[in-house]
Amino acid sequence: MSRKQIAVAVAISTLMLVVLWAIAMGRGLNVDEHQFVASGALLAREGLLPYRDYPFFHTPDLSFVYALLFRCTDYLLLSARLLSVLCAFLGLILISRTMWRSLSEYSGTFRAFITASAAILLFSNPVFRYSCWRAWNHPLATLFAPIAVLCLWRALDDRKSGRWYFAAGLLLSLAISTRLTFAPLGLAFAGISLFLPRQIVICRRMRNALLLAAGAVLGALPMLWLFAVDPRAFIFNNFTWNGPINELYERAAGKYVSLGSKFLYILTHMLRNPGNLALLLLFLAVQYAALRQREFRKDARNLLLMVSLPCLLIGALAPAIPYDQYFYALASFLVLGLVPPVITLATAGALRSLCWGFGAAAMISLFSTAQDFRYLAKLPTPSRWAPIRLHQAGMKLAQIAGPGPILTLAPITPLEGRLRIYRALATSPFTWKTAGFLSEEQRREFGFIKRRNLASALDPPLPGAICTGNEGEAEETMLRYKDSLGYISFRLPNGETAWVSKH
């Protein structure tokens, strides 16, 4: 790269990072962020393990990462969102770098334009922009998975491929141990390892598959350890609750969505956004054009991407209700999947067509999320950042709360003030809302609290405070309970109400 190209790349990358950081600081709290932050805090401060000590409905690796992070800072949401932004940014840089290196034989202008367009396509994609900065498990898992693909690409091209198969298995396992919906991707990796490259003997391919599996086992060790600690709790939290229990709750709430309705959601909601539609149409167009070249049909790297996408779609459609963030990994893989056909089409001389297609798709995507640039206005004023306001609320709560744990369905607030919470409610409202669909034996074994049994289920001493204002109807039992205790109200800086003892 020339000095001018380096300067432009650094400037664009810095702008993208600043915008993502501004969004992370400007946007409010999402209910799903509580469970991940709370799990990391409980492990860091009290040594409590997910599944064994409290309900937790995801694979555990993010809890371990957050626990390490929270040993260094009390700004929980701030640091968690910073980690998510860094994961998203690193993934963006990695995919852009892959495109850049793949076009090394072409002019600097064409190479820079296609690479910049691919970066803008991902950076401004509505699903990426919605999901990449939150304290969820999506950003970390979606960083691991594309790197695993790149390792497998390298394995398919390298004669000394053993270490790359091992690395691919390790990284894929880390993705699955962070978010379980990446598990179907293992089928794509195993299939490619067993059947490609065709020119090597079957014994060599079997060896490659075993190395992939060995890496996967190593990456899964933290998760396997938690399984060994309490197998029944691990299976219940990851499979029983996420399967029949959650389905019963969603049906009772009138929210259950059939498989057909999930596909309809993609058509009527996801693809209604011009940014999502532009990325999909560009991907289909370059794939169709490249497949007309006979040699491209044998491209093992492209085949890996093409079998990975349905596996990711299975994972995205697995939850009872579809949400935009479940398709985050698909957006990243679609941009990464542009690399093999672009190389083929560039070799065939279709440079101008590629520039028009990439440029148009990038501009459509950029305009579809242009409203997010408004968050840059808050960046120079940290006191306006949502994580800072939440931390201030936690510190205020710490000043007025009594000695007991905090009863709340929004656990990040008390945890920001280094207060204790009731571990049964660490997953915010999810255990609270679904406890009625468990048997009494299940509630007792796996640590759920039923609303009707609130007062008797809480261990002494009395709550140091009861925080409300986040979950509406779900908090009615808590409001009645605070009336029985005679607690009085205080308004917290983030808008929550803290009910504390008069004494």
Residue 332 has pLDDT above 90, yes or no: yes
Count Cβ atoms below 10 Å from residue 175 Cβ, excluding itself: 29
For 414-442, what is each residue's pLDDT tens digit?
Answer: 999 999 999 999 998 999 999 999 999 99
Helix, strand, or coil here: 468?
strand
Whether the ω angle into residue 460 lies within 30 degrees of 0, i.e. cis, is no
What is the predicted pLDDT for the residue at 258? 86
What is the predicted pLDDT for the residue at 79? 98
The model's confidence at residue 254, banded by pLDDT at 50, 70 and 90, is confident
What are 316's two structure tokens?
């995205």
Number of alpha carbons in the 13 Å side-chain half-sphere of residue 247: 9
For 4-55, what is each residue's pLDDT tens digit?
Answer: 878 888 999 999 999 999 999 999 999 999 999 999 999 999 999 999 999 9
Question: In this structure, which amino acid lies at residue 463?
Answer: P
Cα separation of 108 and 427, whole Å? 50
Locus of tokens 């396997």 = 224
If we measure between CA atoms, which residue out of 337, 323, 322, 171 comes closest to residue 257? 322
Q: Are 127 and 331 in contact (CB under 8 A)?
A: yes
What is the predicted pLDDT for the residue at 274? 96
Which of 11-15, 81-85, 204-208, 344-348 tops mean pLDDT? 81-85
Strand order in the sheet with 497-500: 406-408, 465-468, 497-500, 488-491
Locus of tokens 């960083």 = 143
Locus of tokens 């997953």 = 427
Percent of the chain with pLDDT over 70: 99
Cα separation of 255 and 253, whole Å? 5
Q: Are 467 and 498 in contact (CB under 8 A)?
A: yes
Q: Give the mean model confidence (pLDDT) for residues 111-137.
A: 96
The model's confidence at residue 159, banded by pLDDT at 50, 70 and 90, is low
Rg over alpha carbons for the chain, rounded to the nearest Å, is 24
What are the respective helix, strand and coil percentages of the chain, to the nearest 5? 70, 5, 25
The dihedrals phi and psi of 213, each to the nearest 5 degrees, come to -65, -40
Residue 138 has pLDDT above 70, yes or no: yes
Pairing of strands 488-491, 497-500: antiparallel
Would you give the end-to-end CA distance of the chain in angstroms?
68
Q: Are 48 and 362 in contact (CB under 8 A)?
A: no
Is the pTM above the cut of 0.75? yes
Residue 197 has pLDDT above 80, yes or no: no
What are 273's two structure tokens?
């956004």
Cα separation of 240 and 234, whole Å? 9
What is the predicted pLDDT for the residue at 341? 96
Helix, strand, or coil here: 327?
helix
What is the predicted pLDDT for the residue at 470? 84
What is the predicted pLDDT for the residue at 236? 97
Mean pLDDT (the chain, rounded):
93
Q: Give the mean model confidence (pLDDT) for residues 349-378.
A: 95
Q: Is 461 exposed, middle or buried (0-12, 13-18, 19+ CB in 10 A)?
A: exposed
For 63-109, what is each residue's pLDDT tens digit?
Answer: 999 999 999 999 999 999 999 999 999 999 999 999 999 999 988 89
The model's confidence at residue 291, banded by pLDDT at 50, 70 and 90, is very high
The model's confidence at residue 225, banded by pLDDT at 50, 70 and 90, is very high
Q: Are 18 and 376 in contact (CB under 8 A)?
A: yes
